[in-house]
Amino acid sequence: MGDNSGATSTAADDLLLKQFFAEVSEVERDNEVNRILSCFKLNAFEYLNLPFDSSIDEVKRQYRKLSLLVHPDKCKHPQAKEAFSALAKAQQLLHDPSEREYLLNQVNAAKEELRAKRKKQLKKDTASKLKSLVDEGKYEQEYERSEEFQQQLKLKVRELLTDQEWRRRKMQMRISEEEGRLKKDEEETKELWKRKREHEEQWEGTREQRVSSWRDFMKGGKKVKKGEIRPPKLKTEDPNKSYVQRPVKRG
């Protein structure tokens, strides 16, 4: 019974959507494309034109509606494809638990800042302060649902998201610079080892020549060629030995 009810609801939604798009003019499609393309790029809720407390089901329904509105096959706007892609990306982000949590954390931080600012303002306005105390928070709840507060919240969320994105990019830039420095150091070290190996190979390659030259040097200089007469070595007298001088024959 419940399954039939769900199917009937879906069929009714489809019928309503068909009727809606049958009545939508080309101008309205173009306006929606322009709205999407002018959205703040870091806020997925803004692309889908949804409040920050929207549920996943509301995200699905809104995406379906807007994507059909700006679909390149149905919309003649030259940037319809770009708007369609932006909607798809926004919907994916809001379905990602970590991305959605990050965005909602920024929304909550923005609310806290606006509440603190309003609290300071109420201290100066006695009438508003008393009213806030009497209705036990209903006065503030009504204010946060107002168009004024929602517009302030939207701008504050933009501010916080921009600040976070700037921090992220600076961090990424520092990481890239450090990676570049490490890569340069690694390349310089490789080049140093390459030169050292080349020097060692060159030194080893001339080993035989160096050994041969040293042997020749130890033998007394120039190497004697085959067939060449070596001059006799001169004898040196040892001063520690006694020598007998032979008599010289006189003629």
Q: How far apart are CA 207 and CA 205, in angstroms?
A: 6
Residue 108 is predicted with a pLDDT of 95
Residue 3's pLDDT band (cuts 50, 70, 90)? low
Nearest CA among 111, 194, 105 for reference residue 156: 111
Tell me the whole-structure pTM to 2 decimals.
Answer: 0.57
Mind listing the pLDDT tens digit for each residue in 94-144? 999 999 999 999 999 999 999 998 888 877 766 665 665 555 567 678 888
- pLDDT mean over 33-45: 94
- CB-based contact 16:71 (threshold 8 Å): no
Residue type, 199: H
Residue 12 is predicted with a pLDDT of 72
Q: How far apart are CA 79 and CA 238, in angstroms?
A: 111
pLDDT at 2 over 50: no
The enclosing H or E element of 226 equals none
pLDDT at 1 over 50: no
Residue 204 is predicted with a pLDDT of 76
Residues 6+ apart with CB under 8 A from 224: 230
Residue 186's pLDDT band (cuts 50, 70, 90)? confident
Lowest-confidence range among 92-96, 109-113, 166-170, 213-217?
A: 213-217
Residue 82 is predicted with a pLDDT of 96
Lowest-confidence range among 31-35, 46-50, 226-230, 246-250?
A: 226-230
Q: What percent of the chain has pLDDT over 70?
A: 71
pLDDT at 91 over 60: yes
- CB-based contact 73:132 (threshold 8 Å): no
